[in-house]
Structure 1
């Protein structure tokens, strides 16, 4: 190697030391800056992915919560409507069906039915019994039909028995929407061929009623 080649930059006055330093340091600085930019870009991408994922995660949750809230509101409305309906039918309708006006209807049905039941004439037995049976229902209707056909009709025709009943006092003992019990005090005058002057009888009767198709009908008739 020659002495010329052995010269260093320190020995060569034409070489600028500052430029040489720049050339040595500049590539390192550029690499570091690029690394920083790449790292920052990666951070931004990662942050954007997290944000998108959070949006995706949150959006269905919010939708589900809104859906559930709507269902709860609907259920609450239905429940309140159900309660209102129940209160109407249970309290208001019950009161309407068992108030004084309803009791008077049942009372009149018991009085009129009892008068028809205990009043008949030998000249109009079929009509009288048909009228009485129109006020009766259930087992008592069956009993009355059998009793009048087999016992009352033959005796009334043979002995010319005639009866006339009247209700002197009446009171409702029990009152329900579809059933009632009425206590009656009844006077009955009976005449016959053997006793034309007639006989008088006073009795008390507990009358059971049932509401059938809007009408109060006698379902039980028990002397007390």
Structure 2
């Protein structure tokens, strides 16, 4: 079983390196995905050990990052996505044991972010998960994948509108737990999912009823 946490850090003004260290020590994840990670986070392995890679978005001060306590089978692969109106987007693809995980921070355009999801899905093997900040309202419309992330809001837009934008889509694996942690320094709540290899029937049976619905 794999315990995965994903957190949009809120670049420059949100979660600090100290906040991330506390999260790792408290939750003990097998893999931590981060969005809007800046150079300030690059000292993570000096504090908690493990393995870390950050990939900056083109022309931005922030990007996607992954941390694991143990070595990965191979270095994460960076995949360019369709460009948005303001800047280019990338996806970080991580081979974690028998599951391939895509770390994403998708565009705000509600047609574009679904197109980005379809591009990612085309390169992923059957047993895979797409996790991160989707910036997406409503169903993802990605055939073959199931939305198993926490059902409660994970972000409050403009400190007024609660949104469930931090998500996890899976294919060929089971989700045994999905929850959102309390909001801390960032404007996004970290999400936690526990994933395991399973048949499709086992995957559905392992989910809470409100997630299956």
Q: TM-score range by the shorter chain?
A: under 0.3
TM-score by length of 2: 0.20
Specify which structure has the higher proportion of helix: 1
TM-score (norm 1): 0.20
Structure with bigger strand share is 2
Larger Rg: 1
Between 1 and 2, higher relative CO (CA 8 Å, sep ≥ 6) is seen in 2
